[in-house]
Amino acid sequence: MNRRPAAAKINLALVVGPTRDDGKHEVVTVYQRIALADRVAVEPASALHVSGFDGDTIVGDALRALARAAGVEPRWSARISKRVPVAAGLGGGSSDAATALRLANATLDQPLPDDELERLGAELGADVPFFLRNGPQLGTGDGSQLEPLDLPQDYWVLLVLRHGTAKTSTADVYRAFDDRDGARDFDERKRALHEALAAIRRPRDLAQLPANDLASSPLVDELRALGAFRADVSGAGPTVYALFLHRAPARAAARALKSRARTWLTAPAWYV
């Protein structure tokens, strides 16, 4: 059975615009892979079977889509070992799907090319193609159109998920964004993001990236007070990430929050 890690991501920036003709929102986002990861294992089998996580639908959907595209029956057994928190804005399900696509594709007599895998991934979720590429990426369109970024990787990432926090559905988060006319001045906010990206040379420069348009948290200010040079909500939330130059203050921040939140201390990751 072939196994690979399925890394989580954070959105170092998320600028959201108007609704497109296809019903999705225009976005500009900075995807950064992190070392916190699920593990996915795939092997040929007599029929499709996904185990290890009862809530999965996307890995099964990914393997069926691959089989249709390759003209074969979906005959794989996949096992998911979860470490990434579920429905937390960290892309765990999308990463699992991308990893399953890559592993199952390698078992085919005629594997599909990378661009075809990305096309299949985009049909499953806007961030799935990101998990098929190395390195940080700028996502545009609905988030699935990618451009590689050269960003500093030498810092620590503290993830914080407050106890008792229930994820608001992504659809509801976007609906609230529309209700407050969040798309206004999209071109100006997009331009500010590109200008900030162009000026990044060292980790602290990441602090100049604009804040998440979709979600906010009072933990952001608290984490900055605890020494983070940047803190924000990832994706549609509810997880908050905080970036630290050194491990010691990141660990101290985790201890300060342990009675109120789950925390994970991790770091940027580059490779699929």
Backbone angles phi, psi at 91, to 5 degrees: 70, 25
Structure tokens belonging to residue 267? 């770091």
Query: Which of the residues 9, 38, 56, 213 is marked catalytic?
Result: 9
Radius of gyration of the chain (CA): 19
DSSP-assigned letter for residue 124: H
The amino acid present at 175, given as its one-letter code, is R
Q: What is the H or E stretch that residue 42 is in?
A: strand 25-44
- 151 exposure class (CB count in 10 Å sphere: 0-12, 13-18, 19+): buried
Concerning whether 127 is annotated as a catalytic residue, the answer is yes
37 vs 215: CA distance, rounded Å: 23
The residue among 210, 136, 212 whose CA lies nearest residue 174 is 212
Q: Is 165 exposed, middle or buried (0-12, 13-18, 19+ CB in 10 A)?
A: middle
9 is known as an active-site residue: yes
Assigned token pair, 234: 């990832």
Catalytic option among 38, 127, 213, 232 = 127
**Gap between the Cα atoms of 220 and 215, Å rounded:** 11
Using CA atoms, how far apart are residues 113 and 132, in angstroms rounded to an integer?
A: 12
Residue 45 token pair: 């089998």
Catalytic residue IDs: 9, 127
